[in-house]
Each structure stands twice: as C-alpha cells, then as structure tokens.
C-alpha cells in the first residue's frame, strides 16, 4: 500500500483543525459539544463505515474512515488525552503484542505464514489477556 506524503504531518494537521474548531476563533457548535455528543457522533460514523463496507462503496468508505479518525482525535482532545500519545501507546502495544505472537509461534516451531487464522486468533486473545493483567 502506498501513502502520499507524511502520515505524521497529516495527523498534525487533523489535530490543528480540531484545535482551531474548538478555539475562540473557531466554531460555536464544536465548542458546545460534550463527551456524550462526541461519542454519539463517533458511533454514527462507525455505523456509516459499516454501511459503506456493506455497499462496497470505496469512495464513501474512505470518507467515513476519515470521519472516524476525526471523531477519535476530537474525543481524545475533549477528554484531555493527547491524541499523539494515544497513538504512540497503541503502536507500542501492537508492536509488543505482535512480537509476542511471533515468539509464541516460534516456540511452536512455526513461522508466521504457517499458522492458521484460527490459531493466530487464539494466540492473540491469550496475549491480550496476559497484557491486560500485566
């Protein structure tokens, strides 16, 4: 998959747009949104993603996924979480978990491409449980 431009820069632009919308110079409607309304819009966008997938509408899917990115970043900021930090933590979590998955497969004398999707799911769920309790 090929990406145009810097994803990091695009993420920064998204955060800047949200900050502007919520600022005194921004949009009164955005400023009055609260946790409940933002969650409502987030869920609405997720359902629109599902609908676009069901219809096979790639253009609508791309648009709706963008709306989900926006809603997630907006919710993070509204709740006082740094969206970049949230993304960094997710990256770290999945790197660690995926590395543990590969290690578990090696322990079973298998390579990544040799495991069935079902076997991978069992290992993944085990790792999720282990990492949550750690």
Could you write out the three-class secondary structure of the chain?
A: CCCCCCHHHHHHHHHHHHHHHHCCCCCHHHHCCCHHHHHHHHHHHHHHHHHHHHHCCHHHHHHHHHHHHHHHHHHHHHCCCCHHHHHHHHHHHHHHHHHHHHHHHHHCCCCHHHCCHHHHHHHHHHHHHHHHHC
Q: What is the pLDDT of residues 26-39, one digit of tens each?
A: 989 888 888 899 99
Q: What is the pLDDT of residues 79-99, one digit of tens each?
A: 899 888 888 899 999 999 999
What is the CA angle 113-114-119, rounded to 5?
105
The full set of domain ranges for the chain reads 82-134
pLDDT tier at 3 (50, 70, 90 boundaries)? low
User: Taking all residues of the chain, what is their mean pLDDT, rounded to a whole number?
Assistant: 89
Give the pTM: 0.76
SS (H, E, C) 29-61: HHHCCCHHHHHHHHHHHHHHHHHHHHHCCHHHH
List the structure tokens of 107. 């322990």
């Amino acid at each position: 998959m090929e990406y145009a431009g810097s994803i990091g820069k695009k993420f920064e632009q998204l955060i800047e747009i949200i900050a502007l919308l919520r600022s005194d110079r921004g949009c009164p409607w955005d400023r009055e949104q609260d946790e409940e309304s933002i969650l409502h819009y987030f869920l609405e966008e997720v359902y629109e993603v599902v609908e676009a997938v069901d219809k096979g509408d790639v253009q609508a899917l791309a648009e709706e996924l963008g709306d989900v990115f926006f809603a997630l970043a907006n919710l993070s900021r509204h709740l006082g979480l740094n969206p970049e930090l949230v993304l960094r933590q997710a990256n770290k979590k999945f790197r660690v978990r995926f590395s543990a998955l590969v290690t578990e497969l090696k322990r079973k004398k298998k390579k990544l491409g040799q495991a069935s999707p079902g076997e991978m799911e069992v290992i993944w769920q085990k790792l999720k449980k282990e990492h949550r309790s750690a």
